[in-house]
Every structure is written in structure tokens, then in C-alpha cells.
């Protein structure tokens, strides 16, 4: 397993569940796997570079950097369990002292050993006082860190945290370990990275194509199966979709508006991203939504089937339920009854009660100035009008949306994320974090701290269920749909890692990917 099945001892070293197990089964038999070929992938945007302290998140470059550097650990997005990847495992007896065990004999492509000192060097760059790394917050719990052996790193935290290993998975750029020799010149490394992952850089034409070739000395013998990977920057969602349909790319992120079209093509497999979702977020600290009656009205305003028809062209790829959102369906963190069924009469009654005292509620609704998100905003506007709330749309670019979110400069906010749990969604709920709803609820914060810090995974999942109940009961926000993007790929491309079939995650590992020739 990953982190904490028992409060007494937590071990992860090629294991799952409560104890050690043998090697997981391969996703396909060796006889089926075909080697060779170069996979073509459409990227959402260009990345800033490969220096781990400049890498931000999946979709903005982390997945490309991981193809070159791998990640120390692997996160199962359904269960939140953590498994070995580049590292051999991680263990703790108390949730406060964590020991990361590295594999013997692994080298970066420049011949530098990937040992404990290399890991400490890399992590130190993220937590340095002048660091602007996006991983810094996830690593802030570290009190001390040392190379306690040639292939062993010991982290001592300021307090116990069962979620700490997540910082060393693909959820964070801290999982990316670059060659310390090459990182001595960080500016050069940023464009000419040196890692120990399945692929190595061949060429990079910014805003166009990133070309990677097979690392013949990859630690996992016989892998990767592909000869190479080409990432093509395709910012426009329609262009990404068209390229995929025409066969120009093998893997792309497609918008909800194209799900019905792409899903009907036999040579393409569509997989909605299992985590994340679309939220309507009232600001409880200012404006009309400071009144709980209006916030509560939102809980009864939306119908899943209607939402699916507007955003996704029907219910073929989403059945209209949001009890699990933003967690994957079937996650142990899901709470049955986390959302209420649509009840327009109830919603109107709550709004009328407010209107009798304060007049008709009129709010500004801040949303992304992106076509698919504008469609969502117009739909939300129309649904609010049905219950007596007037929403004036304010379309902003991504930077302005981020700023409005950070400053609380909204009365109603369009929230969208491809993540679930800690750290992204956790921060958006926590009063000391981004705090989407601008609320201060002691019980919510306490449940969130339990969801982050409990050493026992079952306890963390139970805490997430408690969080969902508080969000509903205090009308903090309403999830109206899953994340309105899906991963789609040619049926000739086979994805997944040992023991973990690929279910549509945007964090795509390619060391075990292969193409039908």
C-alpha cells in the first residue's frame, strides 16, 4: 500500500494493502506487447522548462518532465495509495519520520548516481528560502532531511502526516529528480534536462515540438517499449480534437463538447478524467451569498442529466451524479448523499425568503473566458434565473481568474479542477489555504487536517467523507459536474503501469506504453 493502513506501522516497498506482496501482474502479457514506434501526444500549453523548481503541474509540463526524470513514487488516484516507482519504497512507524529507500545501481543519463545525496540536493532546492517552487507548500512539513545511507533518505516532519508521501508522487514536481551534476548549471538544465527516466531529450522547439528518445539504460530492464515520444503544443481544443480524429496524434485532452463526437469513433477510446470537477462557488464573506439561504438554494438548483446534456452532449459518459465529485467514482473517500437532488420549489422558496428582506439578489459571476467554460457559465446563469437569482457574467482570462480567486474578488466563482483530495482540493476548502467559499468553519478545518495528517488511510478517507457532509450542510459550494475534459487516445496506443490500469488520468506514464504496429 502506500501510506498508512495501520496507525502503528506504515510501509511501502513494493507492497499493497497491509503487508508485502509479490510483483503485481503486468497489465498485458509479454506476448501481446509490441516494441518500437514513436507516440504523438498533444500538449495543452508550452512549459517553462525542465528545472524541477520551475515545473508547475500536470498539463503544464510535469508529465513531460516525468518522461525524462520519472517520479520517485506513484499515486493511485482512485484509492490514494502510493506505490514504488523510481524509488523502491517509503516507510514510517509513526507518520512523522519517513524513510525513502532508493534502488541500487540507478544512474542519470550523464553517469551521475541517483543516490540519497542526489535526492536531498533536489528536495533542498524546492524548500530553499528563496525558492518559488510550487512544491514548497507540500514540503513545508519537513523539519529535517538527511541522507541516512547511500540509498536512503530520512525525512523528519514537524508533526505526523500520512499524506507526506504524496509530495513524492506525480502530484508534485518534488517527485522529479534531476542530475545534480547537470543542475549545477540550472539555466542549461532548464532546456537540456538530464534525468534517469524512460526517455531522454533529443530536441525541443519551443511552442512546437518536444522530441524524446528511448533511454537505453533505463533502470527497469526491457523498458520503455517505445522508441520515442513527440509532444506537440496544441493550445486550441478544437485543433487537438481534429488532430486526434485525423490520426495526427495518438493522445489528446478533448473538451466535453466533443465527447459525443469522439466517443462514437471506433478507433479512439475516450476516458473522462476520473478526478476533479466543475463547481459553483458562492463567496460567503461578501455580497448576497453571505446569507446562507441563498447558498443553500444553490444545492437544489441543478439537475445532473440536464447538465450532462449541456456540457457533454448527453449522459453516455457521465450519468449525472456528483456524490463522489471531485473524487473518482468508487473512491473510498466518497460520501453517499453528498449532494441533494434538484428541487426548484425548495430553491425558489429560499430565494423568496431572502428577497422579502433584502430585495432581488443580483451577483457577479466570475468565469473563465474559454468557450467551453463560457457555455458552462451561461448554463449556470440560466439555472440561477430559474430560481430568482440574477447572475451577471464576468469573463476573465486564466491569470485574472487566479487573481480574483486569491483575493476573494467575486460574489460567485466558477471553479474547475482536474484534481481531488490533497493538496489541490484540500487547499481550496481549508480556511488557511485558497478557501474557495471564503468560510471559517472550525469543524471543516478539523476534518481537513484529519484528512491530511492521519497516518491511517481509512481514517483519512472517513475524514474526507466528513468534509463532504460539512460542505453540503453549510452550503459552502456545489459540484455540478465532473471535470469537463477527457483524455482520448488511439486504440493503437496502450497505456498503464504494472498493477495500475490507466483510467484517464492526465498524469500519463509512458515507460510501459506501447503501440500496435
pLDDT tens column, 360-369: 999 999 999 9
pLDDT in tens, 101-124: 999 999 999 999 999 999 999 999
What CATH number is given to the structural domain containing 335? 3.10.105.10
345 and 202 in a common domain:
no
Does residue 27 lie in a domain region? no
> Is the separation of the CB atoms in 87 and 100 below 8 Å?
yes
Average pLDDT of the chain, as a whole number: 92
137 and 16 in a common domain:
yes
Arithmetic mean of pLDDT, 275-303: 98
408 and 432 in a common domain:
yes
64 and 187 in a common domain:
yes
Write out the E strands in 220-339.
228-233, 251-255, 268-272, 277-282
Beta bridge partners of 203: 211
132 and 70 in a common domain:
yes
Does residue 266 lie in a domain region? no
Nearest CA to 126 out of 105, 155, 151, 97 is that of 155
Arithmetic mean of pLDDT, 346-358: 99
126 and 46 in a common domain:
yes
Does residue 57 lie in a domain region? yes
Q: In this predicted structure, what is the pLDDT of residue 399?
A: 84
> Is the separation of the CB atoms in 490 and 250 below 8 Å?
yes
Q: In this predicted structure, what is the pLDDT of residue 30?
A: 53
Top-confidence residue, 399 or 464: 464
pLDDT in tens, 471-487: 999 999 999 999 999 99
Cα separation of 210 and 109, whole Å?
18
183 and 103 in a common domain:
yes
Phi/psi of residue 161, nearest 5 degrees: -150, 115
Q: In this predicted structure, what is the pLDDT of residue 380?
A: 99
157 and 124 in a common domain:
yes
Does residue 261 lie in a domain region? no
221 and 77 in a common domain:
yes
Q: In this predicted structure, what is the pLDDT of residue 191?
A: 98
Cα separation of 379 and 150, whole Å?
57
Q: In this predicted structure, what is the pLDDT of residue 29?
A: 53
Q: In this predicted structure, what is the pLDDT of residue 282?
A: 99
202 and 119 in a common domain:
yes
231 and 344 in a common domain:
no
Question: What region, left, alpha or beta, does residue 416 occupy, with left being phi > 0 and alpha being psi -120 to 50 degrees?
Answer: beta
Q: In this predicted structure, what is the pLDDT of residue 284?
A: 98
Q: In this predicted structure, what is the pLDDT of residue 111?
A: 98
Arithmetic mean of pLDDT, 216-224: 97
SS3 category, 254? strand
Residue 437 has pLDDT above 70, yes or no: yes
pLDDT in tens, 165-182: 999 999 999 999 999 999
Top-confidence residue, 231 or 45: 231
Q: In this predicted structure, what is the pLDDT of residue 59?
A: 86
Buried b (16+ CB within 10 A) or exposed e, 295-325: bbbbbbbbbbeebbebbbbeeebbeebbbbb
Q: In this predicted structure, what is the pLDDT of residue 104?
A: 97
Q: How many domains does the chain have?
A: 2
pLDDT in tens, 152-161: 999 999 999 9
Cα separation of 65 and 51, whole Å?
9
313 and 227 in a common domain:
no
Does residue 203 lie in a domain region? yes
Q: In this predicted structure, what is the pLDDT of residue 341?
A: 96
Cα separation of 122 and 147, whole Å?
12
Does residue 464 lie in a domain region? yes
Count how many Cα atoms sit within 13 Å of the Cα of residue 81 in the half-sphere of its side chain.
21
Does residue 414 lie in a domain region? yes
> Is the separation of the CB atoms in 118 and 194 below 8 Å?
no
Supply the range of the domain harboring residue 314: 277-482
Nearest CA to 115 out of 85, 86, 156 is that of 86
Q: How many CB atoms lie within 10 A of CB 403?
A: 12
Written in H, E and C, the secondary structure of 301-314 is: CCCHHHHHHHHHCC
Does residue 258 lie in a domain region? no
Residue 8 has pLDDT above 90, yes or no: no
Cα separation of 368 and 154, whole Å?
43
Residue 7 has pLDDT above 70, yes or no: no
Nearest CA to 309 out of 379, 253, 384, 405 is that of 379
What CATH number is given to the structural domain containing 232? 3.40.190.10
Amino acid at each position: 500500500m502506500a501510506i498508512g493502513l495501520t496507525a502503528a506501522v506504515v510501509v511501502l516497498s513494493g507492497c499493497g494493502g497491509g503487508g508485502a506482496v509479490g510483483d503485481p501482474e503486468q497489465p498485458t502479457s509479454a506476448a501481446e506487447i509490441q516494441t518500437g514506434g514513436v507516440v504523438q501526444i498533444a500538449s495543452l500549453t508550452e512549459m517553462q522548462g525542465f528545472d524541477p523548481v520551475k515545473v508547475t503541474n500536470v498539463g503544464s509540463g510535469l508529465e513531460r518532465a516525468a518522461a525524462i526524470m520519472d517520479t520517485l513514487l506513484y499515486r493511485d488516484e482512485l484509492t490514494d495509495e502510493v506505490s514504488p516507482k523510481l524509488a523502491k519504497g517509503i516507510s514510517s512507524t509513526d507518520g512523522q519520520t519517513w524513510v525513502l529507500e532508493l534502488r541500487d545501481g540507478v544512474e542519470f543519463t550523464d553517469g551521475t548516481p541517483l543516490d540519497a545525496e542526489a535526492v536531498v540536493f533536489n528536495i533542498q532546492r524546492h524548500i530553499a528560502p528563496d525558492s518559488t517552487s510550487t512544491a514548497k507548500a507540500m514540503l513545508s512539513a519537513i523539519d529535517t532531511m538527511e541522507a541516512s545511507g547511500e540509498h536512503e533518505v530520512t525525512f523528519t516532519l514537524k508533526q505526523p502526516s500520512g499524506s507526506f508521501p504524496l509530495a513524492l508522487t506525480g502530484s508534485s514536481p518534488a517527485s522529479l529528480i534531476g542530475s545534480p551534476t547537470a543542475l549545477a548549471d540550472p539555466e542549461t538544465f532548464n532546456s537540456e534536462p538530464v534525468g534517469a527516466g524512460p526517455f531522454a531529450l533529443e530536441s525541443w522547439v519551443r511552442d512546437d515540438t518536444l522530441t524524446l528518445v528511448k533511454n537505453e539504460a533505463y533502470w527497469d530492464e526491457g523498458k520503455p517499449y517505445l522508441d520515442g515520444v513527440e509532444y506537440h503544443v496544441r493550445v486550441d481544443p478544437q485543433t487537438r480534437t481534429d488532430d486526434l480524429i485525423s490520426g495526427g496524434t495518438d493522445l489528446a485532452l478533448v473538451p466535453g463538447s466533443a465527447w459525443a463526437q469522439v466517443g462514437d469513433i471506433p478507433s479512439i477510446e475516450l476516458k473522462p478524467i476520473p478526478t476533479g470537477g466543475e463547481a459553483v462557488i458562492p463567496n460567503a464573506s461578501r455580497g448576497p451569498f453571505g446569507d446562507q439561504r441563498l447558498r443553500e438554494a444553490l444545492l437544489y438548483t441543478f439537475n445532473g442529466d440536464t447538465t450532462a446534456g449541456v456540457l457533454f452532449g448527453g449522459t453516455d459518459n457521465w450519468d449525472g451524479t456528483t456524490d463522489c465529485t471531485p473524487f473518482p467514482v468508487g473512491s473510498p473517500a466518497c460520501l453517499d448523499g453528498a449532494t441533494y437532488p434538484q428541487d426548484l420549489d425548495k430553491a425558489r422558496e429560499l430565494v423568496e425568503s431572502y428577497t422579502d428582506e433584502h430585495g432581488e439578489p443580483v451577483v457577479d459571476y466570475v468565469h473563465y473566458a474559454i468557450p467551453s467554460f463560457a457555455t458552462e457559465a451561461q448554463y449556470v446563469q440560466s439555472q440561477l434565473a430559474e430560481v430568482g437569482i440574477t447572475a451577471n457574467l464576468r469573463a476573465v482570462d486564466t491569470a485574472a481568474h487566479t487573481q480574483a480567486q486569491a483575493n476573494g474578488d467575486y460574489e460567485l466563482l466558477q471553479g474547475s479542477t482536474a484534481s481531488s483530495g490533497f493538496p489541490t482540493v484540500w487547499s481550496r476548502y481549508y480556511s488557511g489555504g485558497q478557501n474557495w467559499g471564503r468560510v471559517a468553519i472550525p469543524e471543516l478545518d478539523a476534518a481537513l487536517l484529519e484528512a491530511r495528517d492521519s497516518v491511517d488511510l481509512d481514517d483519512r478517507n472517513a475524514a474526507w467523507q466528513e468534509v463532504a457532509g460539512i460542505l453540503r450542510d453549510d452550503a459552502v459550494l456545489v459540484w455540478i459536474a465532473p471535470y469537463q475534459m477527457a483524455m482520448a487516445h488511439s486504440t493503437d496506443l496502450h497505456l498503464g503501469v504494472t498493477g495500475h490500469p490507466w483510467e484517464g488520468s492526465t498524469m500519463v506514464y509512458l515507460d510501459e506504453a506501447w503501440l500496435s504496429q
